[in-house]
Amino acid sequence: MNQTRKGSDFRIMIVAGEASGDGHAASLVDSLRSEHPEVSFSFFGATGPAMREAGVETVVESDHLSIMGVAEVTRAIGRFWRAYQQLKQAAKREKPDAVILLDWPEFNMRLARAIHRQGLRVIYYISPQLWAWRSYRIRGIRRDVDLLLTILPFEKKWYHDRGVDHVEFVGNPLAGEVKPSIDRAQFCAQHDLDPQSPIVALLPGSRHKELVRILPVIARAALKIAIKRPELQFVVPLAPNRPLSETEEVLATAANVMGSDVSIFHIVADQTYEALGAADAAVVASGTATLETAILGTPMVVVYKESAANWKLFRWMIDVEHFGLVNLIAGDRLATELFQHDLTVAKVEAEIERLLEPEVNREFRERLAQVKAKLGEESASDRAAAVITEALLQWRQMG
């Protein structure tokens, strides 16, 4: 640690890779500065646009390092290696009081080992989901991480049971952030929807490969249901940074295959929370969106489809009973999961119809309220900032 800094002045390196991590990192930076004005913070590290807007000095721009899939990562290995070396050198040069790593485990766990070997304190916020797969990496957490902050309620016990004592649950960042800006009536008025008729939201994922693998199936299921129940209304929230033409093309192709009218789909931009809040049921790609849907209280079916190669590679590593985050937090198969070969038109169609049954819908919403309560009430960023600041002051006293 840098012994030239005194009192409550702290120099922090912060590293986030994906867009969601960039946003959470920026919120944490803001909380550290605003919630503890008596402490002076300066930040540098791997940044996306939100972190740069928050005033974090850039060592590496992480915008183009958000990649999924074995083939994709392999092609970008040079970029990852350069980023890794640049961050290691920056830590050695700057000697920060701590390094805060957010999510992005494939990169950040390797960086944690290198940084910790330099004698620096490592804080991991949004802990790796080792409970889901590759649990053997727990020894790396025990060895290289000085403070672990979790955002899912069951994670603290999971880590503690495996010998990680320096772990705190700080709540989920989404709990205080996910809320619609308008109500159902206003949303329907904006998009020429009938508020008295059922609305089904279709969320196939935010990546191109998710869109082309998942949306055709769920769109065809919607088209089949619409023949029997023409009063149903289908809303497709446009994922951030995805062109409208891409979604329109997939939907038009599905309608052409079914010989149906594509006009049953209402595509909306920049209103995902509003669409989910207004919906009676939703079809949601596995991931953070299932938590967002749970917080908004909308009954859902969780879907996903990977490439055959990626599914064969990753499936055997996954060590959980449920895939969907909403089910993991509920501790039960609350939402039906249709993955890979189970993702069929017939099964999606049947599940949408089941979720629209009044009694099923009511009970589902009651269970989702319990899930939301488990995520915490307090701002996760503020809670994390408080825990981090306390640790930094203690470490400073220890020398």
User: In one letter, which amino acid is 296?
Assistant: L
Q: What residue ranges define each of the domains in the chain, with the CATH number in brackets?
A: 9-175+377-398 (3.40.50.2000), 184-374 (3.40.50.2000)
How far is residue 231's CA from residue 194's CA, in Å, rounded to a whole number?
9
**pLDDT given at position 1:** 44
**pLDDT given at position 360:** 98
Least Cα distance to 56 among 87, 35, 81, 89 occurs for: 87
CB 80 within 8 A of CB 106: no
**pLDDT given at position 324:** 87
**pLDDT given at position 319:** 59
Least Cα distance to 2 among 144, 145, 120, 87 occurs for: 120
**pLDDT given at position 89:** 98
**pLDDT given at position 70:** 44
**pLDDT given at position 3:** 47
Tell me the whole-structure pTM to 2 decimals: 0.84
CB 205 within 8 A of CB 238: no
Q: Provide block-wise average pLDDT over 10 residues at a time, the chain (399 residues).
A: 65 92 95 90 96 97 66 66 96 98 93 97 94 88 98 94 96 92 98 98 93 97 96 95 94 93 96 98 95 97 84 59 85 95 97 98 97 89 96 91
**pLDDT given at position 394:** 95
